[in-house]
Structure 1
Amino acid sequence: MAFSQTNRRTVLIWHVRGSWMNSFVAGGHRYLIPVDTPHDPDGRGLCGHDWPAAEEIRLDELRDQDIDLVVLQRPHELELTARLSGRRPGIDVPAVYVEHNTPRPFVVESPHPVGERDDIPLIHVTDYNRLMWDNGCAPTTVINHGIADPGHLYTGDVAAAGAVVNEPLRRWRTVGADLLGQFAESVPVDVWGIGTEDLNDPARRCSGVIGHGDLRTDLLMKELAHRRVYLHTARWTSLDSSLLEAMFLGMPVVAVASTMAPLVVPPEAGIVSADLDTLRAALSGLIADRYLAEVVGKAARDYATEHFGLDRFLHEWEQVIQQQCAAGL
């Protein structure tokens, strides 16, 4: 979508979620991404991504930048922004807070970190998250994920399930990593993501589960597209962009019925259930019938492209950015 250069803003945002950032920085603004020498979580920079509108900014240079808007994503960024830039979010500089996660530590009784602030809009990435967090007096809205269409790459020529799970051993039951071995009793399961090589440790390895490590997005999409079906195991995470990306590829979906998954995988696009036997039967059936998998995967792609396109995402964000900057402080 086209953006007016006269309304181009300078947006400060930390690199927290790679897939979400890939979509966010495709807008028509100047995006400052903090970087430091150790490239720790507060200074990751671009991490090698080709984001033409984004530029790395050293932490000690933030005070000298004209910043129109701060996009917060973690609680400590309130203090971090004030300390490094000399401007308090919501007071000295306009700010919004993007909540990527389901509530922690309690499912329905977790007050949000900006819930006591009425000067920082709270933007959830799913309706489920907005429902479950205690948002307090913070003005809230939802901007659903937007995905840059990788194309209908699905071939399904590898009779296995593909999954994307970051840090499966550390996050274990939260991301449903404990279920991978159970599903692998029915079909082979190939897993990509940060730390998935650890699934191959002989002391932990489950027969039929292979961890392939973390790949660049374009390479990951090609590998996933060869697998017959996409397996989504998360119990308590927000809506993973990898699930939507798999649907964009044209993959049929078998998903654990938790958080937002039941609301984004329609019946014609796959099977969503809390019953493991039902999920195992669905995996086996799709693996065995390649034609059925193609038909179901096409329906998944049609739904994803209609509801999670990049243009809609950028348009909604453009409205928020201009509104907050125009309001000033």
Structure 2
Amino acid sequence: MPFGANVHEIPASEVPSQSFDVVLFQHRRQWDDDRLNLLTDAQRRLPRVYIEHDPPQENAFEQKHWVQERDTLLVHVTHFNRLMWDSGETPTRVIEHGVIVPDDVRYSGELERGIAVINHLRQRGRRLGNDVYAQAAARVPLDLVGMDAQSAGGIGEIGNLELAAFAARYRFFFNPIRWTSLGLAIVEAMTIGMPIVGLATTELSTVIRNGESGFIHTDTEALIDAMQHLLRDPAEARRLGEGARRTALERFHIDRFASDWDEALRYVCS
């Protein structure tokens, strides 16, 4: 995604000479290495925020987060992620996604196919649901897009700015992922009015309501039945998509996202 005019990219070598109000980390390497080797002593004393984008990867419920500091705010992007991480003494809060999609992009659903958006599905295996996708694709017309999608029989990568319009033609969005954060592609699909079908795992189980915005279940046969039903009934798919859009505008609106971040930054800087 292109940055706005208020974002300024500088070489790492220039960071020590810069003046900042707050330091934000988004990757363990940044916390373990850059914090110690790139920032000055004064910069390390600045207010700090660490954004954790994923649930624990090593142990579902016992992994302790590497940020263990009372003076750093650990921000999770879903309530499920915060529940599963052992954040120890570090203060936490949840700031859910906020998305912007082009005003002229809306769900049409004329393609009698479903779409899944997953990067490196074949490489990442069962955690990302490669077996679930293959099982469904054997009985339901599905297209996979994302990085290296071709190796799993998919189309390939679609640029972020083009993805919403590309997906809008498909009848439904399919999410076969067992263990993940809430994907932005799902939120964007909901925002344009697309029905969601997926595994009732992690945060998605709190987002989609059966019969209102899509269909979720832990039974893959039930998911296949739901997808086949939407292929036969485009009016029902559109009705569910409208419910998904209402949910997205209430829960994932960009104004709410900006307000939450404004509040978080004021908190750490106070």
Normalised to the residue count of structure 1, the TM-score between the two structures is: 0.78
Alpha-carbon distance, 1:184 to partner? 1.3
Q: Secondary structure at the match of 1:85?
A: coil
Supply the AA of the counterpart residue of 1:178: D
- Partner of residue 38, structure 2: 84
Report 1 or 2 for greater relative contact order, CA contacts < 8 Å, sequence distance ≥ 6.
2
* 1:67 partner letter: F
4+ long deviations beyond 6 Å? none
Measured in 1, the distance between the counterparts of 2:116 and 2:91 equals 35
Match of 1:140 in 2: 92
Q: Would you say how many aligned residue pairs link Structure 1 and Structure 2?
A: 267
Deviation at 1:87, TM superposition (A): 3.8
Deviation at 1:199, TM superposition (A): 1.8
1:322 is paired with a residue whose SS is helix
Stretches of structure 1 that go unaligned for 5 or more consecutive residues are 1-21, 23-48, 201-210
Stretch deviating more after TM superposition (176-185 or 120-129): 176-185
SS in structure 2 opposite 1:130?
Answer: helix
> Is 2:101–2:164's contact at 8 Å kept on the other side of the alignment?
no
Amino acid at match of 2:146: G
State the distance in 2 between where 1:320 and 1:87 align.
23
Query: Map of 1:4-43 to 2, 5 A cutoff?
Result: none
Letter in 2 for 1:85: L
Label 1:271 to 1:235 Cα distance change in 2 as closer, same or farther (>3 A): same
Partner of 2:138: 185
Q: Alignment identity in percent? A: 34
User: After superposition, what is the alpha-carbon deviation per residue over 1:92-138, rounded to whole angstroms, capped at 9, x for unaligned?
Assistant: 22111111111120011000111x21111111111111111111000
Q: Deviations over 1:35-55 (max 9, x none)?
A: xxxxxxxxxxxxxx2422212
Give SS of 1:150's match: coil
Q: Is the 8 A contact 2:114 2:142 kept in 1?
A: yes
* Match in the other structure for 2:22: 69
Structure 2 gap segments, 5+ residues each: none
For normalisation by structure 2, the TM-score amounts to 0.94
User: Are the counterparts in 2 of residues 247 and 297 from structure 1 also a CA contact under 8 Å?
Assistant: yes
Deviation at 1:198, TM superposition (A): 1.6
1:85 CA displacement: 2.5
Show the counterpart of 1:232: 175
Distance 2:94 2:42 in 1: 24
Which range moved further: 146-155 or 270-279?
Answer: 146-155
